[in-house]
């Protein structure tokens, strides 16, 4: 039932604050005391390998950044279809992420991995093939996702995943419980931030999309914790608008991708308040590129408006290890609006299936 929404993608984007609030209500009290992790019954781990595809891989990159930066745990993110080129050391826990739990590349990757590695599944379908194959399962609790483009499942994967790794780090003594409490408190404000981001984006995105819709291609830039969101924004544009969209670390621009920037080339910058993004923005503008900043206070499409006396993990002070989660809302809305203005079906892009069960 679409209710007042014009399509499933719009509905699922709108549902995100509620999904995050629901997830946090389930896991909040079990995060800072380590009990989420203990309840999974998995052995301790020294390394983590995240295995996934597409949007789930981007969620995995956010989770990997979190476990690395908070716990110093060596972590690999592995594109599921490339697993045979990866060597996993002893003591590695495999975190397999799949909204559907039926993605053939992910299931095949697990078949190819050594049985010694315990597998934790993060999925929206707890009776899926992935869940059956795993040693323990984390439910995303995103509810049914009908649109082919993954939206609310991404944010649910991120929130369930980062709270689970925070819990694991507390349980293993790598993270102080008081720090975990502060991190979870920061996440608790996410529903409100996402809802506010959607209101601003609804106002600004239609005109932005109209300005850039005739461009043949798009560049998305980010840095550090902002990078998975840039990659996610680019994937959504490709999948829905059939336009090329490349995501690049901002620092890599000068090593090649800048050559793509010409008069009017749209360059979407995920701005999480890192001043080092400014030099990339200046390089793009010097070549005539059309810069759209998304995320930070004062950007073209801000995802957050911080009070001057903010004392939490807000942008502009220290960045949360999971980066600018709320920035995904304007990125999803931009991709959807662009696709609609180009006459594309946002719920059923051509040649795309809800879950990819072939390899």
Q: Which stretches of the chain bind ligand M6R, using CB under 6 A? A: 53-56, 98-100, 103, 106, 148-150, 235, 239, 355-356
Shortest reach from residue 181's CB to ligand M6R, in Å: 31
Q: Which is nearer to ligand M6R, 9 or 314 (CB)?
A: 9
- Asked if residues 187 and 162 have their Cβ atoms less than 8 Å apart, the reply is yes
Can you give the chain as a three-state secondary structure string?
Answer: CCCCCCCHHHHHHHCHHHHHHHHHHHHHHHHCCCHHHHHHCCCCCCEEEEEECHHHHHHHHHHHHHHHHHHCCCEEEEEHHHHHHCCCCCCEEEEEEECCCCCHHHHHHHHHCCCCCCEEEEECCCCCHHHHHCCEEEECCCCCCCCCCCCHHHHHHHHHHHHHHHHHHHHCCCCCHHHHHHHHHHHHCHHHHHHHHHHHHHHHHHHHHHHHCCCCEEEEEECHHHHHHHHHHHHHHHHHHCCEEEEEEHHHHHHCHHHHCCCCCEEEEEECCCCCHHHHHHHHHHCCCEEEEEECCCCCEECCCCCCCCCCCCCCCCCCCCCCHHHHHHHHHHHHHHHHHCCCCCCCCCCCCCCCCCC
Query: Which CB, 31 or 153, lies closer to ligand M6R?
Result: 153
Q: Which is nearer to ligand M6R, 181 or 356 (CB)?
A: 356
Rounded least distance, CB 87 to ligand M6R, Å: 23
CB of 180 to ligand M6R, least distance (A): 27
Q: By the 8 A CB rule, do 157 and 140 touch?
A: yes
- What are φ and ψ of residue 310, in 5° steps? -60, 135
The residue among 125 and 193 lying less far from ligand M6R, judged by its C-beta, is 125
Least separation in angstroms between CB 102 and ligand M6R: 7
Least Å from the CB of residue 145 to ligand M6R: 9
- Of 171 and 235, CB closest to ligand M6R: 235
Q: Which residue is nearest to ligand M6R (CB)?
A: 54
Smallest distance, Å, CB 154 to ligand M6R? 8
In angstroms, rounded to a whole number, what is the distance separating the alpha carbons of residues 339 and 151?
Answer: 15
Shortest distance in whole angstroms from residue 113 CB to ligand M6R: 16
Nearer Cβ to ligand M6R, position 149 or 184?
A: 149
Closest CB 308 distance from ligand M6R, rounded Å: 37
Distance CA 23, CA 17 (A): 10
**Residue 285 vs 352, nearer CB to ligand M6R:** 352
Q: Whose Cβ is closer to ligand M6R: residue 16's or residue 100's?
A: 100
CB of 241 to ligand M6R, least distance (A): 12
Q: Six-digit token pair at 348?
A: 């059923």
Q: Which is nearer to ligand M6R, 117 or 236 (CB)?
A: 236
Pair 42, 181: CB distance under 8 Å: no
318 near 217, Cβ under 8 Å?
A: no
């Amino acid at each position: 039932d679409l209710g007042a929404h014009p399509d499933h993608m719009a509905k699922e984007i709108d549902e995100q604050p509620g999904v995050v609030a629901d997830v946090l209500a389930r896991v909040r009290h079990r995060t800072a005391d380590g009990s989420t992790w203990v309840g999974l019954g998995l052995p301790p781990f020294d390394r983590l390998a995240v295995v996934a595809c597409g949007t789930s891989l981007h969620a995995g990159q956010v989770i990997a950044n979190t476990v690395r930066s908070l716990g110093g745990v060596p972590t690999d993110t592995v594109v599921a279809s490339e697993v045979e080129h990866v060597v996993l050391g002893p003591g590695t826990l495999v975190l397999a992420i799949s909204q559907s739990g039926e993605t053939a590349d992910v299931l095949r990757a697990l078949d190819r991995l050594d049985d010694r590695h315990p597998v934790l599944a993060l999925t929206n379908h707890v009776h899926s093939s992935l869940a059956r194959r795993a040693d323990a399962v984390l439910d995303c609790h995103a509810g049914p996702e009908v649109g082919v483009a993954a939206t609310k499942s991404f944010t649910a994967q991120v929130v369930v995943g980062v709270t689970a790794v925070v819990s694991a780090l507390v349980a293993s003594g790598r993270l102080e419980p008081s720090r975990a409490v502060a991190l979870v408190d920061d996440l608790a404000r996410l529903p409100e931030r996402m809802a506010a981001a959607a209101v601003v984006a609804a106002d600004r995105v239609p005109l932005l999309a109209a300005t850039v819709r005739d461009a043949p291609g798009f560049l998305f830039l980010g840095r550090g914790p902002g990078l998975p969101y840039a990659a996610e924004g680019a994937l959504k544009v490709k999948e829905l608008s059939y336009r090329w969209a490349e995501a690049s670390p901002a620092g890599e621009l000068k090593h090649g991708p800048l050559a793509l920037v010409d008069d009017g080339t749209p360059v979407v910058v995920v701005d999480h308040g890192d001043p080092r993004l400014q030099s990339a923005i200046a390089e793009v503008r010097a070549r005539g590129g059309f810069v759209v900043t998304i995320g930070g206070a004062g950007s073209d499409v801000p995802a957050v408006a911080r009070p001057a006396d903010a004392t939490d993990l807000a942008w502009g002070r220290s960045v949360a290890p999971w980066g600018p989660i709320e920035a995904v809302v304007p990125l999803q809305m931009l991709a959807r609006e662009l696709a609609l203005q180009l006459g594309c079906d946002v719920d059923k892009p051509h040649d795309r299936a809800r879950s990819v069960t072939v390899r």
